[in-house]
Chains A and B, each alone.
Chain A
Amino acid sequence: MRNRDLSFWLFLTPVLLGLGLVVILPLLYGTVYSFTDWNGLTANKFLGLDNYKRLLEDEEFLNSIWFTIKFSVVSVILLNVLGLGLALLVTRQLKSSNFLRTIFFMPNLIGGLILGFIWQFIFVSVFEDIGAALQIEGLQGWLSTTSTGFWGLVILTCWQMAGYIMIIYIAYLQNIPKELIEAAKIDGANSFQRFRTITFPLVAPAFTVSMFLTLSSSFKIYDQNLSLTNGGPFESTQMVAMEIVKTAFSANEMAYGQAKAVVFFVIVSIIALTQVYYNKKREVDM
């Protein structure tokens, strides 16, 4: 097919319309309107950088960014440790391997909103009861403080996504040539040495992939945040995505919300591009 062929363009029309009208146009339109006093329908005044200056002093917004960063760093580390651990577990020759894989992966199929509600029950009712019965104060009053809300979100995310990260690590673990492991065994390497010198370096690319996925998905989390803590207490567990939705649709500040959305886009792009750059550089080294 050549560019001049009508069929080339016919084959691309539906997706070009979809991407253009749903993603590209709104992105351009929104970026332009973030410099105005747009109310969702009309804009009367060009404000220049006013919306952006305002968000630099908006504590709720800055807190939400800080909270999101902390949450993402902790989740990325825990998820990769857990994911690799589970992958090593289920790739041993166990009778139960397939069953375990199925179980660990299951939470991924259920929406974040529903999972958040289930865990709200566990933190609020089950933890409370166990805490009272065993007189452990730490288990009581979950989700009612900033730090228990934070760890609640981390636990929920780990439970939900570890199975997914496990799948990525499994794919790389299965590509390790059996001969390498055998040779190391013959040379007398114990299982820890084999892990450190063979397995770990060879699954390192999986870490790059899963770091990209975990980082970008934890940055964009909304549903779990909404159903687990709804940002409370006092907006202290509110992540960026939720802050933007609230500004736009609850406070009805479209232009200001869009300015936050543009900043959010820039942050996510920087993270993604840094990752890609780092990834490429490593590929060259190898």
Chain B
Amino acid sequence: MKSKRNNIIVGIIGILLALLWLSPFYLMIVNAFKTKREIFTDVLGFPEGLTFENFSEAFVELNFLNSLLNSVIITVVSVGIIIIFSAMAGYALARNKSKLSAALLLLFVSAMLIPFQSVMIPLVSIFGQVEMLNQAGLIFMYLGFGCSLSIFLYHGAMTGISTSLDEAAIIDGANKFQTFWHIIFPLLKPISVTVGILNVIWIWNDYLLPSLVLGEDNATIPLQMFFFFGQYTKQWHLALAGLTIAIIPVIIGYFFAQKQIIEGVSEGAVK
């Protein structure tokens, strides 16, 4: 009985903490519906009436459909090539037992230590000189920064896949690429989901790299948000409506895939 009462107390503490955790979102959303004056007079309460003008104005000023499309294209293409190329590399490195292969894996793993700011200045300079400061260049950069952790995860997952599968496929006349694509890659699906989730979260939200590479025309959501915010400092009703709009796609995604997201992140963090 005592433990039941304890559970109720702990449950209440949990709910209170959850409310505290949600309060920034609450404050953002309720104030996004208020007028500039109302935010000034009453910041905590519900809005007097639901005005959607803030949202429509922010939607236009954020150039939202354009930045959403840019974010989707860059994220989907980058994560797609990270998954395919890292899986291929993880497979090759796991099946090759030489010293060279171990050294290459170590190289990829150690590259995870390099902070972005340490390479960003020469990176922008080199890519600028070959006219690659554009979407294609950005996607290639994401492959370079994203492949290390992904290869590491794929390499770990490969140890659970028996080499007799490869051998059987080779006997059946498949070449290395067919073996990988038809036999191994489908078996790696759980780890591909993890790799995909980790990279989507990072690339979708990245600000600094796109800010150095992209112009305003093909800005991603975070980059567009930065331009937008600079314009509307102190106009909180518009700024908050813009922030709310920017978050909506993430919340929708989280709503549909929360289980996979949390599992994927825990998989990646514990490894």
Contacts and interface: CB of A to CB of B under 8 A. Distances in A.
Contacts of A164: 265, 269
Contacts of B86: 15
Interface in B74-91: 81, 85-86, 88-89, 91
A24 interface: yes
A15 B151 contact: yes
Contacts of A52: none
A22 interface: yes
B31 A121 contact: yes
Interface residues of B, number: 90
B254 interface: yes
Contact of A102 (B39, B208, B262): B262
A250 interface: no
Interface stretch (A54-62, A135-143, A260-268): A260-268
Given A15-B143, A26-B122, A164-B269, A119 B117 contact: no
Contact of B144 (A7, A19, A106, A220): A19
Interface in A1-48: 1-3, 5, 7-8, 10-12, 14-16, 18-27, 29-30, 33, 40-41
Contacts of B141: 22
A258 B145 contact: no
Given A19-B147, A109-B250, A30 B121 contact: yes
Interface string A211-223: 0010000011011
A121 B108 contact: no
Contacts of B106: none
B120 A261 contact: yes
A27 B104 CA distance: 17
Nearest to B228: A117
A3 B98 contact: yes
Nearest to A25: B126
Given A1-B95, A108-B201, A171 B266 contact: yes
Given A1-B92, A11-B92, A94 B120 contact: no
A129 interface: yes
Interface of B is mostly: helix
Interface of A: 1-3, 5, 7-8, 10-12, 14-16, 18-27, 29-30, 33, 40-41, 86, 89-90, 92-96, 99-114, 117-119, 121-122, 125-126, 129-130, 159, 164, 167-168, 170-172, 209, 213, 219-220, 222-223, 226-227, 240-241, 244-245, 248-249, 254, 257-258, 261-262, 264-265, 268-269, 272
Given A7-B176, A40-B128, A164-B269, 12 more contacts: A12-B92, A23-B114, A26-B123, A94-B14, A96-B15, A109-B254, A114-B246, A118-B240, A126-B43, A159-B21, A241-B117, A264-B117
11 contacts: A5-B176, A18-B144, A19-B148, A24-B111, A40-B121, A90-B14, A92-B10, A102-B258, A114-B243, A125-B43, A245-B208
- Pick the 6 closest A-B CB pairs, nearest first: A22-B144, A111-B205, A30-B122, A11-B92, A18-B144, A265-B118
